[in-house]
Amino acid sequence: MWVHGYKRLNRHMWLHRIIRHMLIVSATVLFGGFLGATLVRVAPGFGVDEQQLDTRLSNESVQAIRHSRDSERDIFGFYTQYLGGLFRGNLGFSHSLGRPVTQLLAERVPVTFYSVIKGLVGGWLVGLVLALSAAMLRSKTYDFACTLASGFFLCLPSAVLAILFLLIQGPVPLGIGLTVFPKIFRYARNLLVQAYALPHVLTAQSKGLSGGRILFWHVLPLATPQLVALAGASVTVALGAAIPIEVVCDSPGIGQLAWLAALGRDLPVLVVLTILVTVITVLANATADLAISALRHRPS
């Protein structure tokens, strides 16, 4: 009976957490999209189309171009119309690319998705392996070499990194991975070095426990919740890096689409992309948060 009560309480707690995260996701999406649309709306130059400067066009044609964007001028109208369309699966029409946004996303989201996933996996692997070896070996020279390498990539703008990749014909995911890895390395290294300096770990070492046992039983359980939180945050870093890298490397993903839409002053595409990336970011952070809760509440 006591076990039943505990299980019910646990289930209730998880349900509460999941509902809370879903509410946060919905609120963030609504507010994020609205903020994105408002920023675009209030920015100077909104509604200006380069086509209007074409001297070959008649007055009527210029007026027609202006009127074609009338529905976007009222921000509340635009956003309500947009939300209505969203529920019907209509994400709007791209003025600059002349195609439905849904079609553009269907083509480009998988490209960025695979690049970001591969980049994240690669970045995490390199970052964690280097951090673990730096914390376990305790060699000043090795630590300095790793810090220097990560520091170099940390100081490079991702767009320049992409240009270097063009030079060696490197793949896009590697560029994203090299943007993510220094942040993972720096954070994980500090975390692991601190964990290895804890009294109970030092005692375990002095009692002659093997390196693997110390790592898996005493160090990683302490560091895992923070590393999981970092995993959520690294998704944002990877998506941010995808824009300049995709643009420079001419990879047809959503980063390049955002850039093309920005150059073409394409409001529907930009708002959809802002919302999409916000959803991915919030979901990644919510998943990390739930995973941390699961780790903290797991039976010992």
- Tell me which residues touch another protein (CB under 8 A): 24, 27-28, 31-32, 35-36, 39-40, 43-46, 48, 50, 53, 151-152, 154-160, 163-164, 166-167, 186-187, 190, 236, 239-240, 243-244, 247-248, 258-259, 262-263, 265, 270, 273-274, 277-278, 281-282, 285
Q: Is 129 exposed, middle or buried (0-12, 13-18, 19+ CB in 10 A)?
A: middle
Q: Which is nearer to another protein, 24 or 204 (CB)?
A: 24
The CA distance from 143 to 135, in Å, is: 8
Q: Is 105 exposed, middle or buried (0-12, 13-18, 19+ CB in 10 A)?
A: middle
Q: Which is nearer to another protein, 44 or 212 (CB)?
A: 44
Q: Which is nearer to another protein, 66 or 186 (CB)?
A: 186
CB of 138 to another protein, least distance (A): 16
CB of 4 to another protein, least distance (A): 34
CB of 31 to another protein, least distance (A): 6
Instruction: Please choose, from the candidates 232, 247, 253, 245, the residue with its C-alpha nearest in 3D space to the C-alpha of residue 174.
Output: 245
CB of 11 to another protein, least distance (A): 26
Q: Which is nearer to another protein, 45 or 212 (CB)?
A: 45
Q: Is 260 exposed, middle or buried (0-12, 13-18, 19+ CB in 10 A)?
A: middle
Q: How many residues does the chain have?
A: 300
Q: Which is nearer to another protein, 192 or 247 (CB)?
A: 247
- What does the angle CA 112 – CA 118 – CA 124 come to, to the nearest 5 degrees? 125
262 contact partners, CB below 8 Å, separation of at least 6: 270
CB of 191 to another protein, least distance (A): 12
Q: Is 224 exposed, middle or buried (0-12, 13-18, 19+ CB in 10 A)?
A: middle
The one-letter amino acid at 296: R
Q: Which is nearer to another protein, 204 or 231 (CB)?
A: 231
CB of 76 to another protein, least distance (A): 18
The CA distance from 241 to 223, in Å, is: 26
CB of 20 to another protein, least distance (A): 12
Query: Angle between the 101-137 and 140-154 helix axes, to the nearest 10 degrees?
Result: 160
Q: Which is nearer to another protein, 218 or 265 (CB)?
A: 265
